[in-house]
Amino acid sequence: MSCALKQIHNNVGGHVLTTSTSTVLLKALTLSHPVLKLLAASVLNHVSRFSDCGLFAAILSSTLVENTKNLNIEPTLAIKLNRRLLDMCTSYLTKENCGCKVKVDFSSSHSLLALAQSVITSKPACMLTRREAQHISSRVVQAFLRTVPCDTPGRVYLGRVVTVSVEGQPVEESTVFPGLLVDMPENLCLAGVEKLGSGSGPFRVAVFNVSLAGDLSETEEGALEVDGAACPEVAVLEQLLRLGEQVVRDRVELFVCQRVVHPVLQQYLRRHGVIVVERLGISLLEPLLQVTGAQAVATFQAPVPVQSYGQVTGLVVRCCGMKEMLHLLPAGDSTYCTLMLCHRNETMLNELKVACQRAEHVLRLTLKEPYTLLGGGCTETHLAAYLRHKSNSDVSGAGSVQGCSRADYLLAADGFCRSLESVARALEHDGGESLVDLSRGHRWAVPGDMEPKATWRDMVGSCGCGLMSPSLDLEWAPLSAGYPPFSPVQSVNIATQPQVLDSFPAKLNALQVAVETANLILDLKYIIQDVN
């Protein structure tokens, strides 16, 4: 789904935020009205679970509230009708023969690439060319596939993609590495690392998640016994050096600490050929343990158990521009990998990182529910066409809702459909017109600068999802003007494949969240707010 570029700036000055991601946008806004807070909280909660379709949920919910209020129907009745229409939508979308649902074919990468590219290209703040978007999409799919284990008996556990950002390099320098990339340790001899990496592995790894800085305040709950005349700091340093002696005897080649390592211990280890990586951070600890097979050691006051050591098959220095990273090659088949993202400046890089993380999460959702929905507004227009036809032919629908006349039922259905169509129309940012074909119910875009004698057939290209091309038997109507009800035809006989796809579980949940949030807002009678 396309989203216009947004810039947020506090009216008293400060940082200018440029984004096209709904999560970043809503978190940056300071909302004062309780209804807006409720809407934003609903959208943020949805995006935190599904990573996509936040804009869809926000637009649909707000327009549904506005359209329902203009219908002059009792709010209680309108809420009942909205729930019934929502049930009709979810029932249709979960059917096998749904006209806007596409099954994901895991024997081909086309669906995965189209889904990833749809997420990434919907974020214009990434400032990607068409070629760059294709390159990034393929890298995201490649990284995702590396997290899926092959030929694993029993329960399957997915791996993880660790993202590393490199500013100032071309986007097409972005690539995927098996294993893990960490910041290059200071005072590390490049020749020494190359020599180590070229030797025969595996190399033993020790990992600590406790501070090794030697501060007494960070000795945790362990007992420290010292002579009355001894200095506690010296006693702690002696324990750290005894730890260093043990790992050297145990032939550890890589010593990693989540926090800080005392300079004297670092010097001792490096003098004995051990590579020291400190300040790893909590976010990389779990990936490191998975890649190396190590167990994190939580104390330095006791000998390191031999079974807690891990291993890597090699250590390689990776250079990207001015940045050097230490590449830890995994031992065996690892489902953890590193996606190195490059971009020209910090703002675009941050937006690209968020977009790629969202795209990778959306791909994960397809493993649980292997379906997608047509993108580019075609699902919304197709669903609206289906609801219009169904509600007009459903004579018993009004009678099943207590206190509802057929006129009220048709009014509510029309308002619900116009709300869906407003989401599709929001995709047009250049002053053009959005059309719907009266055959399959797809969305088509017409430029705003049409020639006076030109027809729609002369101006339209493919539909929003790219599945259909204009033909002589197609007839269009403007989305903004309404059209006579028709039953949308299935698209199963079309030989082409859709180019723009939306996540099925994300959009289905966003639809439910949007309607439920709108109903909650419509049901509000009083708002009590503390303005102090």
Mean pLDDT per block of 10 residues along the chain (532 residues) reads: 63 72 79 88 94 92 94 90 94 91 90 94 91 97 93 81 94 95 77 55 91 70 59 82 95 94 92 91 93 93 93 89 88 89 92 95 94 94 94 74 82 94 87 86 81 60 84 81 84 70 96 97 82 68
Question: Can you tell me the distance from the alpha carbon of 27 to that of 198, in angstroms, rounded to the nearest whole number?
Answer: 47
Question: Can you tell me the distance from the alpha carbon of 35 to that of 145, in angstroms, rounded to the nearest whole number?
Answer: 41
Question: Can you tell me the distance from the alpha carbon of 336 to that of 161, in angstroms, rounded to the nearest whole number?
Answer: 6
CB atoms within 10 A of CB 83: 14
Query: DSSP 3-state assignment of 445?
Result: strand
| Contact assessment for residue 211 and residue 352, using Cβ atoms and an 8 Å cutoff | no
What was the pLDDT predicted at 163? 95
Could you read off the pLDDT of 92-134 as tens digits, one per residue?
A: 999 988 989 999 988 889 999 999 999 999 988 899 999 999 9
Residue indicated by tokens 């490199």: 166
Which of 307, 294, 315, 306 is CA-nearest to residue 200?
315
* Alpha-carbon torsion (422, 424, 429, 435), positive or negative: negative
Question: Can you tell me the distance from the alpha carbon of 407 to that of 313, in angstroms, rounded to the nearest whole number?
Answer: 72
Query: DSSP 3-state assignment of 502?
Result: strand
Q: In which order are the strands placed within the sheet that holds 501-503?
A: 101-103, 371-374, 501-503
Q: What are the two backbone dihedrals, phi and then psi, of residue 178, each rounded to the nearest 5 degrees?
A: -70, 150
Question: Can you tell me the distance from the alpha carbon of 384 to that of 378, in angstroms, rounded to the nearest whole number?
Answer: 10
Query: DSSP 3-state assignment of 459?
Result: helix
Residue indicated by tokens 């001899």: 189
Question: Can you tell me the distance from the alpha carbon of 387 to that of 86, in angstroms, rounded to the nearest whole number?
Answer: 10
Query: DSSP 3-state assignment of 220?
Result: coil
Q: What are the two backbone dihedrals, phi and then psi, of residue 528, each rounded to the nearest 5 degrees?
A: -105, 120
Question: Can you tell me the distance from the alpha carbon of 382 to that of 111, in angstroms, rounded to the nearest whole number?
Answer: 20
What was the pLDDT predicted at 1? 40
What was the pLDDT predicted at 2? 46
Query: Count of residues for the chain?
Result: 532
488 DSSP 8-state letter: P
Beta bridge partners of 162: 338
Strands (E) in 243-285, as ranges, are 252-257, 275-277
| Contact assessment for residue 69 and residue 522, using Cβ atoms and an 8 Å cutoff | yes
